[in-house]
């Protein structure tokens, strides 16, 4: 795309309100909120949401601005609280966002506490994954997600454990970060460790026999019938706006059981998995969240714009819920491959951002296979922006 779409402050604001805020985004895992009062913050653009479990064990996504003068009512990135209290004038909110007290506001005869709860985003909890959408009119994501229940259910994420999570801050527009993830044309040159393990780094023609053999044995070896089935409704083909869903499975080369430095197991098998089939599953949830699932661990990626030229790439590593750190897995072995790969991505994205921001940059042709998904995103993005700008 033309560099204007990455450099314009106006475009960035339009993107947030007409694309990002209307899309489903992964917010947290259910085990991060085990008890009533537990919360984590999700920051998107300049917005802040409190993901919290209330006293009835319901999960809410509360917009983190007091209904009086707009101050943030929660500052910690995660924690436990009985209420949320505005530090400015003391307005106090319950865990479900209702206004409990507003000091001395009874002097206003027209004031009713029930009229001023914290605003909310839509929430969906699916297989332990918490998704949010800032659009009150957003279509439900549960229908599209149900199409991949077999493939995703193999990993029993509801009972999985967040072994590690890390935010990689990149000084680049969010689209550079997302576009990099959507193509594997760069994998051979930028990610030698990844490329020696995953067939996705090679042309379909070169890997088709290998992948076909993996899919033929996948159901038997993993013990999950149908784990190899593909489903792909993303971007313009999504069932509803911002409700992209995808499940695909591809091969790992001989000698590699999983995505690790040496290709050997880094933890107990996940969920319903009974063995290694020499494959890995790719999932997409909404436009900005992805997950690569091996038989023994899952790696979730989320791309969040935090400014016109600032992006948070969050990576979350999941393991079997019964696994014990130090006994069943070691953090360094578990995270090595995708920490290494993400640091490599951070480097090439920065170089891409610097060069493509030049007035002299002219976009070149995209690869018809390796960059096919990238083209799908660009077509969707331009359609959305065209409908907004005209």
Statement: 4-24+140-389 belongs to CATH 3.90.380.10? yes
Give the sheet arrangement for strand 84-85, strand by strand: 84-85, 92-93, 99-101
Where in the chain do CATH 3.90.380.10 domains reside? Answer: 4-24+140-389
In CATH, what class is 29-137?
Answer: mainly beta
> What stretch(es) of the chain map to CATH 2.102.10.10?
29-137
Contact 87, 69 (CB under 8 A): no
- CA neighbours closer than 13 Å in the CB half-sphere of residue 104: 2
Residue written as tokens 């033929």?
216
pLDDT tens string, the chain, 390 residues long: the values are 888 899 999 999 999 999 999 999 999 999 999 999 999 999 999 999 999 999 999 999 999 999 999 999 999 999 999 999 999 999 999 999 999 999 999 999 999 999 999 999 999 999 999 999 999 999 999 999 999 999 999 999 999 999 999 999 999 999 999 999 999 999 999 999 999 999 999 999 999 999 999 999 999 999 999 999 999 999 999 999 999 999 999 999 999 999 999 999 999 999 999 999 999 999 999 999 999 999 999 999 999 999 999 999 999 999 999 999 999 999 999 999 999 999 999 999 999 999 998 889 999 999 999 999 999 999 999 999 999 886
Q: 156 exposed, middle or buried (CB, 10 Å; 0-12, 13-18, 19+)?
A: middle
CA distance 301 to 342: 10
Contact 45, 16 (CB under 8 A): yes
């Amino acid at each position: 795309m033309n560099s204007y779409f990455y450099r314009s402050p106006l475009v960035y604001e339009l993107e947030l309100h007409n694309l990002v805020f209307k899309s489903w985004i992964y917010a947290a895992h259910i085990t991060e909120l085990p008890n009533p009062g537990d919360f984590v913050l999700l920051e998107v653009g300049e917005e802040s949401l409190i993901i919290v479990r209330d006293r009835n064990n319901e999960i809410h996504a509360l917009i983190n601005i007091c209904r009086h003068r707009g101050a943030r009512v929660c500052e910690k990135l995660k924690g436990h609280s009985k209420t949320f209290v505005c530090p400015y004038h003391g307005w106090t909110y319950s865990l479900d966002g209702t206004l409990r007290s507003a000091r001395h506001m009874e002097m206003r005869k027209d004031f009713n506490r029930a009229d001023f709860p914290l605003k909310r985003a839509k929430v969906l909890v699916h297989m332990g994954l918490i998704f949010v959408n800032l659009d009150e009119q957003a279509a439900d994501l549960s229908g599209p997600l149900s199409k991949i229940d077999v493939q995703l259910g193999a990993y029993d994420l509801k009972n999985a454990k967040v072994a590690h999570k890390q935010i990689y801050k990149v000084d680049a527009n969010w689209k550079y970060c997302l576009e990099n993830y959507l193509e594997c044309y760069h994998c051979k040159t930028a990610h030698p460790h990844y490329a020696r393990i995953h067939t996705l780094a090679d042309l379909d023609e070169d890997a088709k026999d290998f992948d076909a053999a993996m899919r033929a044995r996948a159901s038997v070896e993993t013990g999950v019938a149908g784990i190899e089935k593909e489903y792909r409704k993303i971007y313009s083909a999504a069932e509803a706006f911002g409700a992209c869903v995808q499940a695909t499975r591809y091969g790992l080369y001989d000698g590699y059981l999983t995505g690790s430095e040496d290709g050997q197991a880094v933890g107990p098998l996940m969920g319903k998995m009974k063995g290694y089939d020499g494959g890995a599953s790719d999932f997409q949830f909404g436009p900005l969240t992805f997950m690569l699932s091996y038989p023994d661990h899952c790696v979730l990626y989320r791309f969040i714009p935090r400014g016109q030229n600032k992006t948070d790439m969050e990576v979350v590593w999941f393991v079997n819920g019964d696994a014990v750190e130090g006994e069943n897995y070691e953090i360094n072995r578990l995270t090595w491959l995708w920490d290494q790969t993400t640091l490599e991505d951070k480097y090439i994205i920065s170089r891409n951002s610097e060069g493509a921001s030049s007035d002299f940059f002219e976009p070149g042709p995209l690869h018809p296979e390796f960059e096919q998904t990238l083209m799908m995103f660009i077509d969707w993005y331009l359609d959305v922006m065209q409908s907004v700008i005209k």
